[in-house]
Amino acid sequence: MRFPRSFLVVLSLLVVQTSHGQEAQQAMAYQVDTEASQISIKVSSATRLGHAHGVLGKLSSGKIVFGGPGELVFDMKTFVADTAEARTSVGLDAKFSSSDAAKVNANMRGAEGFNVKEYPTAIFAVNSIRPHADKQGSYVLEGKFTLHGVTNPLQIEATLEQTGKSGVLRLRGSFKILQTKYGMKPYSALGGLARVADELLISGNLLLTPETK
């Protein structure tokens, strides 16, 4: 049976032979290249008069450990809505009014949104990462996500890929959250005739480099 290359990569990371000939788990740590990685958010419209939005941002730091805990720290001050790049990253038309985008960003960063002044970071504390039981090449990250001062359990399904560089991997995954579950109020106008959906689709495209000791 032939396995995907990504499966073999992680398998080789997780299993080593001990001096007694027994298999043991070895924690292999990777740092997230924050400059080469990005986080995107798709905000859908909840009404016909509303608009969908695309948001792009960065991690301030990140560590993924195969065989141990890790952490992803989201730099909320870097998140910008409705630039051409942000919109196309989530499959939306690149064109959007610059004046409307300015209003969207003000609301997104304000007290009823991410409130970046009071909560400049969001954190996914990863308790474990394991191969998906039913999907070869897929992995499950489990832990707790803290956003806007609220913490909830979180599970992410992700795929691990090789890159052109030796030892460097790419991890892609996405998850959905409800703004109201994190103490945020979905934006609305015109008495609720124009409003965004409660649900946010958050996707990560992370470049992982081996941690050097």
Report phi then psi at 87, rounded to 5: -70, -45
Q: Which domains does the chain have, with CATH numbers?
A: 28-210 (2.40.128.110)
User: pLDDT tens, 88-134?
Assistant: 999 999 999 999 999 999 999 999 899 999 999 999 999 999 988 88
Residue-level pLDDT at 213: 65
What does the pLDDT read at residue 36?
97
Whole-model pTM?
A: 0.85
Residue from 81, 70, 68 nearest 126 by CA: 70
Residues in the chain, pLDDT under 50: 1-4, 6-8, 10-12, 14-25
Q: What is the pLDDT of residue 133?
A: 82
CA distance 117 to 36: 25
Tell me what pLDDT residue 193 has. 62
Spatial CA neighbour of 159 closest among 150, 169, 151, 148: 169
State the DSSP code for 78. Answer: E
Tokens 């007290």 sit on residue: 111
Beta bridge partners of 154: 143
Residue 192: its pLDDT value, please? 59
